[in-house]
Amino acid sequence: MARILQLPSHVVTKIAAGEVIERPSSVVKELVENSIDAGATRIDIDLDAGGTELIRVADDGCGIDPDDLALAFAQHATSKLTSADDLFAIGTMGFRGEALSSIAGVGKVTLQSRPPALASGCEVRCDDGVLSAPRPWNGSPGTRIEVRHLFYNVPVRKKFLKSIATELGHVCETVTRLALGNPGLHIVLRHNGKLVYEVPASAGLADRIGLFFGGEVREVLYELDSGPGRQRLVGFIADPKCDRGNARLQYLFVNGRWFRDRSLAHALQESYRGLLMTGRYAVGFLFLTVPPDSLDVNVHPTKAEVRFQENSLIYSLVRATVKARLLRENLVPYLAAPPGEPEGVSPRVSESDAPGLFSPRQHLADRTVAPWELPPAAWRAEPVAPPEARGADPFAGLVADRGPTLEPSPGDLRPSARPEIPPFPLPAPGTALQVHDSYLVLETPDGMLVIDQHALHERILFEQFRRRIRDGKLEVQRLLIPEPIDLPAEQAALVLEAADALRELGLDVSDFGGNTVLLSSYPTLLARRPPHEIFQGVVDYLLTKERPPTRDALLHDLTATMACKAAVKAGDRLTPEEITYLLHLRELAEDSHHCPHGRPTSLRFTRHELDKQFGRV
Ligand code: ADP
Ligand code: MG
């Protein structure tokens, strides 16, 4: 074994550079962050050949004192930290004092700088670790750094660089993050002398998003703000219709710094649950402000990850704020105009009409007993009276008065008291037409609505089910004789593993020995289908999961699965009362526009579109 040696400083620098400087975009990030720390209001970035040949960053910041120029290249030389305590309340982008020394270790650097108060500035060059003598420089106030021939002395790194277009792409991403994190900053990016981006200082956040991601995203943004507090979240999220196939348009910032965080990305994605199809990702630009001493930014070589002291609090803040914002929107999918036709601006229900997070409508919905809370026999056996005969109360024949005409059955869960009737008008029976036993067609003031009866009912059941679980008001029907269900061994084990979550959902399962589980209760709300059918849906769901889902995800997904199983199906003929009731509950739903799997429950055809199709306008 060779003897232990202390490494010479040029080797140490290259090792440090290996962590911090991976490609041209890393240099751009470090240099622009320095300019931001220097209080710059305008930063110009010039690249040649994707930054592999030249990176030049010029700012109008505070400049560097001529006496400090050489020191800027030294290892661990910084003006931003004085004691170790400062590390725990970082207010600047940089603080480790290793960027300039690292960059100078892997590229040929020229640094020119002039503090505004001085009549002239100074220039130094650093070539292969050798610093030139400072020379006077007469540029305008601020700092200008040029990095040429990146990795000229690290052939391995150079080999790993990708095409010019790819490297430029990485720089654009870096500039995007810096421009989003610093509204008010004028940033210009040029490549081979051609302008790539110019972001004026006056461009606010939404305009910046539009500039980088196009009008299509800009137009569907919803602004959010959690309100003042120790932690605050502001930013924009996009309408679910503007979803993406990956999470690249999910941007997180804390105290102006971009970072990545799987848990918070999850919180964002979770807030869109039910609004996005599987495999689709939300678009969001979230800006957190937290006290600097509750944040550790010194946990990752390029500071791309951070650690929050109050991790779960931040998670909840993101989830609750995004979710509440989405609930304020009435998210109806619109029929896309035929190709070549401009798509009409989606009319939206005004905010005051849209249900809030704790909308009184929800409570009303909870107090209303739906026909499908009754067993299928009871529902189906109901004689359908003509609307006039029922007078003002369309439910008269459906819920309260139906007892005497029915044989009581073990599954009969009829509420003993007459349910409260909501005090607002219901769609008159007969205004909706059922077609193909699958869709309901409804006239609306501005056109017509085609509703998928299964998707809508699924959504309604899902919401009721979820609310009752949340409020601890889930009614459970115990089976007189528990139902033994035979399953293959691994399925039985899966079910028993999930027994606690299933109990919260009203499904009581226990081990009956062998490969049999015993089902002894089920939720009343889903009484429309036989318990074992619902249970089978649950087993099928558990089988599709490779890894055990989190409790929340399990509850959500199972609620959706069970609602799906229990809902009316495509192909079920509905009575006028059932149609009326579905439409009535549609009004009460939090999000009546998507089934829990994210598919639309209804499509809107505007009168204008119809007129256009028929050549009337
Ligand atoms: P850090 O940013 O972590 O302090 P750097 O190696 O990036 O370390 O920079 C070293 C020092 O050089 C900074 O602390 C700062 O004082 C100075 N400096 C670098 N770039 C600029 C700039 N554009 N304007 C003013 N000062 C700068
Ligand atoms: Mg720095």
What pLDDT digit, counting tens, does each position of 151-166 carry? 998 888 888 888 888 8
Place of tokens 């660089």: 161
Distance (angstroms) between ligand 2 centre and the Cα of 142 equals 15
Q: Which helix (H) or strand (E) covers residue 273, if one does?
A: none
Give the single-character DSSP code of 600: B
pLDDT at 425 over 60: no
pLDDT of residue 332: 56
Pairing outcome for strands 42-48 and 186-191: parallel
pLDDT at 421 over 50: no
Distance (angstroms) between ligand 2 centre and the Cα of 97 equals 6
pLDDT mean over 302-329 = 92
First to last CA, the chain: 88
| From 188-197, 399-408, 585-594, the region with the lowest mean pLDDT | 399-408
Bigger pLDDT: 539 or 202?
202
Give the single-character DSSP code of 137: E
pLDDT mean over 198-226 = 94
pLDDT mean over 361-365 = 41
Bigger pLDDT: 370 or 292?
292
User: Are the beta carbons of 269 and 282 closer than 8 angstroms?
Assistant: yes
* CB of 34 closer than 6 angstroms to any ligand 1 atom: yes
The closest-lying atom of ligand 1 relative to the alpha carbon of residue 30 is 7
- pLDDT 10s digits, 477-489: 888 888 888 888 7
pLDDT mean over 177-191 = 96
| From 66-80, 365-379, 445-459, the region with the lowest mean pLDDT | 365-379
pLDDT at 430 over 80: no
For ligand 2, a single-atom ion, the residues with CB < 5 A are 34, 94, 99
Q: Residue 62 has which token pair? A: 């505070």
User: Are the beta carbons of 564 and 241 closer than 8 angstroms?
Assistant: no
* CB of 129 closer than 6 angstroms to any ligand 1 atom: no
In DSSP terms, 191 is beta-bridged to: 47, 194
Amino acid at 182: N
- pLDDT 10s digits, 212-223: 998 889 999 999
* CB of 95 closer than 6 angstroms to any ligand 1 atom: yes
CB neighbour burial string for 118-147, b if at least 16 within 10 angstroms, e if fewer:
eeebbbbbbbeeebeebeebeeebbbbbbb
Distance (angstroms) between ligand 1 centre and the Cα of 136 equals 20
Task: Give the percent of the chain with pLDDT over 70.
Answer: 83
pLDDT at 349 over 60: no
Distance (angstroms) between ligand 2 centre and the Cα of 502 equals 53
pLDDT of residue 408: 28
* CB of 99 closer than 6 angstroms to any ligand 1 atom: yes
| From 48-57, 204-213, 379-388, the region with the lowest mean pLDDT | 379-388
pLDDT at 364 over 70: no
pLDDT of residue 428: 55
Q: What is the pTM of this model?
A: 0.62
Torsions phi, psi of 461, nearest 5?
-60, -40
Residue whose Cα lies nearest atom 16 of ligand 1: it is 79
| From 142-151, 283-292, 538-547, the region with the lowest mean pLDDT | 538-547
pLDDT at 390 over 80: no
Site to substitute for ligand 1 among 32, 34, 44, most atoms within 8 A of C-beta: 34
Rounded to the nearest 10°, the torsion over CA 210, 213, 214, 220 is -70
Beta strands in 97-155 (DSSP E): 108-114, 121-127, 130-131, 135-137, 142-148
Residue whose Cα lies nearest atom 2 of ligand 1: it is 94
Bigger pLDDT: 353 or 600?
600
pLDDT of residue 571: 87
Pairing outcome for strands 439-444 and 42-48: unpaired
pLDDT of residue 16: 73
CA–CA separation, 517 vs 482, rounded Å?
10
pLDDT of residue 236: 98
Distance (angstroms) between ligand 2 centre and the Cα of 189 equals 19
CA–CA separation, 486 vs 562, rounded Å?
20
User: Are the beta carbons of 444 and 604 closer than 8 angstroms?
Assistant: yes
pLDDT of residue 373: 44
Of 52, 267, 37, the closest CA to residue 166 belongs to: 52
Candidate ranges 76-80, 330-334, 442-446, 456-460; pick with highest mean pLDDT: 456-460
Distance (angstroms) between ligand 1 centre and the Cα of 102 equals 12
Bigger pLDDT: 572 or 259?
259
Beta strands in 569-613 (DSSP E): 602-606
Give the single-character DSSP code of 418: P
Alpha helices in 260-375 (DSSP H): 262-271, 311-327, 360-367
